[in-house]
């Protein structure tokens, strides 16, 4: 019988209050946001010696701040040092505060069938110095190298955490910082 499936939408007797719950949560979120800081003090930004290197976490989902979509950290590369090598599903913007060096970027082609498969290209070198911005595309394997044997380099990294919120927290550490 034609259009029989059109009658099926009315089946079922379960009830819910999803919309009303969402309205209540929106009101509660405003109250929660009022308690979060709009200024994060330097002493409230923790340092971490991570597999990627020395990081100062400025803003992320664990910070008591009114920032919903950004993860921002400062990274310090020791004189002549380098970061770990990794890739992630999200874009990254880096602003070089001090020092000089270069990035190595490996473009990655991703195929998604039943599982991910990766095809990694050749490394490309991008030189940078204080005042430069480095843009790292989605899924690019990358590593930062301080070319100055006498002075550290520092930069700020900003990433949009929307990919993580959507379930794509696809961070892979390929090589640790020394």
Within-domain flag for 7? no
Which range is least confidently modeled, 31-40, 47-56, 105-114, 147-156?
Answer: 105-114
pTM check: above 0.75: yes
Within-domain flag for 54? yes
Distances (CA, A) of 93 to 19, 72, 133: 37, 10, 7
d(CA 80, CA 78): 6
Count of domains observed in the chain: 1
Within-domain flag for 106? yes
Query: Range of 53's domain?
Result: 44-175
Within-domain flag for 140? yes
Phi-psi category of 142—alpha, beta or left, where left has phi over 0 and alpha has psi -120 to 50? beta
Within-domain flag for 77? yes
Tell which wins on pLDDT, 101 or 29: 101
Query: Which pLDDT score, from 0 to 100, does residue 45 have?
Result: 95
CATH code: domain of residue 48: 2.60.120.10
Pull the structure tokens for residue 155.
């930069």
Whether the pLDDT of residue 111 is over 90: the answer is no
Give residue-wise pLDDT tens across range 45-55: 999 999 999 99
């Amino acid at each position: 019988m034609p259009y029989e499936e059109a009658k099926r939408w009315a089946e079922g007797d379960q009830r819910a209050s999803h919309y009303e719950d969402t309205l209540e949560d929106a009101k509660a979120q405003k109250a929660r946001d009022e308690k979060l800081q709009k200024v994060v003090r330097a002493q409230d930004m923790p340092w971490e010696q991570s597999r990627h290197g020395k990081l100062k976490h400025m803003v992320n989902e664990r910070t008591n701040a009114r920032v919903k979509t950004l993860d921002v950290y400062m990274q310090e590369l020791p004189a002549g040092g380098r970061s770990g090598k990794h890739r992630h599903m999200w874009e990254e913007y880096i602003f070089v505060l001090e020092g000089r060096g270069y990035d190595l970027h490996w473009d990655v082609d991703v195929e998604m069938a039943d599982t991910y498969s990766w095809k990694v290209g050749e490394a490309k070198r991008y030189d940078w110095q204080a005042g430069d911005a480095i843009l790292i595309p989605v899924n690019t394997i990358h590593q930062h190298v301080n070319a100055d044997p006498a002075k550290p380099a520092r930069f700020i990294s900003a990433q949009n955490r929307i990919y993580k919120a959507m379930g794509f927290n696809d961070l892979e550490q390929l090589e640790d910082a020394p």
